[in-house]
A and B are shown apart, each in its own frame.
With several copies, the nearest count.
Chain A
Amino acid sequence: MLLCKAKVLRVEKLAIDCFSLLLEEKNLATGSLPGHFLHIRVGEGPAPFLRRPFSIAGTSPGEGFLQIIFRLRGAGTRILSRACPGDMLDCLGPLGNGFRPRENCKISVLLGGGVGVAPLLFLARRLKEVRERVVLYYGVSRGLEKIPVQNFLPPGVEINLATEDGSGGFAGLVTDLHRSHLQRGLRPEEVFACGPRPMMQRVAGMYRDKKVDMQFSFEERMACGVGACHGCPIEIKVGDSDTVFKRVCRDGPVFNPYEVVW
């Protein structure tokens, strides 16, 4: 974990309300793995008061580059979207536990909903080096929000797009698209997902009976981002009937969905 200033190299608009930010910081780029996130201080004054967490969407350790992809939501992301090349961004990271792919495995499935696809792009790139098939499902509600994921992926990653407004790819929910593939015989050995909770819950539901390794990345409001404040709980089952609150920032953000209380 580092507290450092990362240099803004490029801010790019990828789709409506969706931006990518290319940063330069050698140690961050080297130390980050898929599933890790940055806790970024936006603005100078007292507002916004808290840092903002963003998944790392990719790195080029050689060049010392790393990237995040974010959607405009409120004041913080608005300020970020106006960053200029040369600006220095105060970053805390890499934080959290990343995805832990299986040792031996041929087919990985990744499901991203909206900007939740960001950490999966990073993961898909790494997985492609060691897997026979890497199948990415990417769902957006409106085609306008679709980011060009192919630009972030190496050749060979299979991209399956679903748009709820029917403007591209499968018309409907990304989970329905995936289900239809499962019905036609797709047999993933591990499944990664990141996106809105209802989407992730549907994915988890699909595998209820299966022995597939599943790792989902969760979001929660965060203060410290490092595990000190217990501000970012996720309810996790312990044994048969008990539950505890774990910290998304430090114990996650990646959790086994079977253990999560939805």
Chain B
Amino acid sequence: MIDLGTRLGPLKLKTPFMAASGTFGFGEEFASLMDLRDLGAIVINGLTLMPRKGNPPPRIVETPAGMLNAIGLQNPGLDVFLSRELPRLQKSQVKLIANIAGDTEEEYVILARELCTAGDVLIAIELNVSCPNVQRGGIFFGTTPSTLSSLVEKVRRVCTLPLIVKLTPNVTDITEIARAAEDGGADILSLVNTFQGMVIDTVSRRPFLGNKIGGLSGPAMRPLAVRLVYETYASVEIPLIGMGGIEALDDALQFFMAGAAAVAIGSASFSDPLTILRLTGELKNYLQRMNLPSLEGIIGVAHG
């Protein structure tokens, strides 16, 4: 019997495949195509305390083997989420992880505290300290070790759910940032968010995106993300969730072997909404073929 389950510190998942924040909505948009309970978890779109309008269009541009996005955390804000969205989601039996972003430490703390007691459809909190597409907050917290560990500490105090910190790749040394998050009390690290990029429209002679800068996701960035997971695995004790350009099983295996105990699928769901389920089946076959009773046997093996 193959067990696809994976354990990330205090968090247990049925499968190691999650939907990445910002790419799968609350899952509902895809509900008619699959049984959402077959997903390891869905990390829902980034939430903020107050409603966010998001960035002006265009927000998306395709790039070689990838895309830039500059959504700008469009979301209805905590109150509307709690009163309008969550009750509906409660009934679905889906495993949801809330991705939260604040302008200030206080906002993160409020978001975490409120969401931890909001209902058991939420199984973890992911701190987004890595959004490249907003003016304040977001990535600011994710690039300075001391700022980050102080933030994580404060959130840790009110957070009764497993606490994930999502790291930005736009730093000189991710291991330093990762250790800061660990020191602050993170249970799990998730890496990576998108790389900052720009496309210039050579006809209008201006940056193409409304926000000028966007975040690169997709296969183009995969080797960069694998490296970051590999190096972070060697630097912290807490488990990792890997992501960045995963489309095929081999891609996911690279992240597992680099040290990720679970992976998230982001933009691949745009071209194939069934990516996560396909990979789930393929992983099962792979483990069977390799005579491995569970995923554990390959997590981090690339470190030799």
Contacts and interface: CB of A to CB of B under 8 A. Distances in A.
Partners in one complex: yes
Interface of A: 1, 3, 41, 46-51, 90, 92, 220-235, 243-245, 250
A47 B219 CA distance: 10
B59 A226 contact: no
A223 B23 CA distance: 9
B67 A245 contact: no
Contacts of A90: 272
Interface stretch (B5-13, B26-34, B77-85, B115-123): B26-34
- Interface range on chain B: under 10, 10 to 19, 20 to 34, or 35 or more? 35 or more
Contact of B25 (A47, A221, A229): A229
B83 to A, nearest CB: 18
B62 A48 contact: yes
Contact of B274 (A3, A48, A234): A3
Contact of A233 (B22, B59, B62, B65): B59
A225 B267 CA distance: 12
Contacts of B147: none
B141 to A, nearest CB: 22
Interface in B60-119: 60-67, 69, 71, 74
Interface stretch (B50-58, B152-160, B180-188): B50-58
B271 A41 contact: yes
B174 to A, nearest CB: 25
B60 A221 contact: yes
Contacts of B33: 1, 3
B273 A92 contact: yes
B24 interface: yes
B269 interface: yes
Given A224-B270, A228-B23, A233 B67 contact: no
Interface in B174-216: none
B247 interface: yes
Given A1-B32, A46-B247, A230-B71, A51 B57 contact: no
Given A49-B63, A230-B22, 13 more contacts: A51-B270, A221-B59, A221-B61, A224-B23, A228-B30, A228-B269, A229-B23, A229-B60, A229-B69, A231-B59, A231-B69, A233-B54, A245-B54
Contact of A51 (B53, B74, B219, B271): B271
A224 B30 CA distance: 10
A223 B45 contact: no
Given A49-B271, A51-B271, A230-B45, A221 B29 contact: no
Contact of A224 (B63, B66, B219, B269): B269
A243 B74 CA distance: 13
B137 interface: no
